[in-house]
Amino acid sequence: MDTAVIRSAVGGLETLLRAAKRALWHVEREVFGDPGYGDDEGVTYEDPRYAMADCLEQLHDSLLVVLEAAAMPQTRSDLIAAWEQFKKDKGGLQYTNDDAEFQGSESPACTYLERLVRSLRMTISEELSSEQSWTLARLEAILNDAPGLVHRRQKALVTEMDLQEVMHDYLSVCFPDFRKNPPIGGTLKNFIPDCGIASVGAAIEFKLAHTKQQAITSFTGVVEDTAGYKGSKDWTRFYAVMYQAKAFILKSHLQSDMKRIKAATWKAILVNGDTKPKVKVKR
């Protein structure tokens, strides 16, 4: 078992688990009353069962990648077998056991994944605190909110520097240990990510794509970074935020390619938003 892989991935797994449990809470409210009632963050779902199933599927797919990278083949095989059964059972991943007496709903699939993630957490419990887990969850939430943050600033994204400027401002306010361009030492050269959060060893790269070709080129850059950033004791988690003008690249395709190159310590966050490419002036 490779605990370094688990240590790098468990924060992201817990974020996905929280999303699934949030959707389950909404299912419970729909079954026993208060349908459409927002949670403590004001989140609502048009179809909470579908949202829950989608979150569980995302968590399952991520676990398969992590377990393979962490050299845990038996656990991975057990997950695959259990998942096939969950999907075959009546209701599939949308099924819940609804207890009218205690006004509660339980998802067998969610419970299974929660226990698995909790077990992974226990293997590195001395290495990653609950505060660090919260920090990673908060960081990923901000990175996923990049289009909204850019919109608030009314910033025209012409270059990657424009995207960095907006995100650096927000990250530096939210995290006192924010670092701009922290060097990651290599044997022949240093690698310098756009920024990082020191307390959790998370380095971040921002990529901007106005066109499909630029999106593909950005992913190629991420592939190169996954090799160059290995071996640092201080920076052990890596995020590539790919901000594209339109849905040139699909999230499922990106996740598949990240799995193929075995980038277990990397997490690619794909977002779509308005950009403003440079206009070439004809002379």
What are the structural domains, with CATH classification, of the chain? Answer: 3-123 (no CATH), 130-272 (3.40.1350)
pLDDT at 39: 47
Whether residue 128 is predicted with pLDDT greater than 60 in this model: the reply is: no
Using CA atoms, how far apart are residues 101 and 263, in angstroms rounded to an integer? 46
Burial degree of 208 (CB within 10 A; 0-12, 13-18, 19+) = buried
pLDDT average, residue stretch 194-207:
92
The answer to whether residues 136 and 15 touch, using CB atoms and an 8 Å cutoff, is yes
Task: State how far the Cα of 235 lies from the Cα of 205, in Å rounded to an integer.
Answer: 13
pLDDT for position 281? 59
Q: Are 258 and 266 in contact (CB under 8 A)?
A: yes
pLDDT for 221 equals 84
Alpha-helical runs (H) found in the chain: 3-32, 48-69, 73-88, 108-123, 130-144, 146-153, 160-174, 212-228, 251-260
Residue 191 confidence class, pLDDT cut points 50, 70, 90: confident
pLDDT band at 40 (very low <50, low <70, confident <90, very high): very low
Q: Report the pLDDT value the prediction gives residue 242, as an integer from 0 to 100.
A: 93
- Give pLDDT, residue 283: 59
| Stretch 250-255: mean pLDDT | 81
Query: Which of 20-34, 38-52, 77-91 is predicted with the least confidence, judged by mean pLDDT?
Result: 38-52
Phi, psi (rounded to 5 degrees) for 119: -65, -40
Nearest CA among 87, 61, 86 for reference residue 76: 61
Tell me the average pLDDT across 200-213: 93
Least confident of 3-17, 58-72, 222-236: 222-236
For 65-108, what is each residue's pLDDT tens digit? 999 998 899 999 999 999 999 999 888 989 988 887 777 788 99
Residue 139 half-sphere exposure toward CB, CA atoms < 13 A: 31
Q: Find the mean pLDDT for residues 27-43.
A: 65
Tell me, what DSSP letter sits at residue 192? -
Predicted confidence at residue 125, as pLDDT, reads 61
Q: Hey, which residues does 206 pair with through a beta bridge?
A: 241
Query: Residue 55: which residues within 8 A CB-CB, separation 6 or more?
Result: 16, 19, 20, 22, 23
Q: How far apart are CA 89 and CA 169, in angstroms?
A: 48
- Mean pLDDT, to the nearest integer, of 181-192? 73
Angle between helices 160-174 and 146-153 (to 10 degrees): 100
H helix intervals, 90-159: 108-123, 130-144, 146-153
Q: Which range is least confidently modeled, 56-65, 67-76, 123-132, 169-178?
A: 123-132
CB 266 within 8 A of CB 65: no
Q: Answer whether 6's CB lies under 8 Å from 124's CB.
A: yes
Indicate the pTM of the whole model: 0.56
Q: Which residue from 247, 240, 249 is spatially nearest to 273, judged by alpha carbons?
A: 247
pLDDT at 33: 75
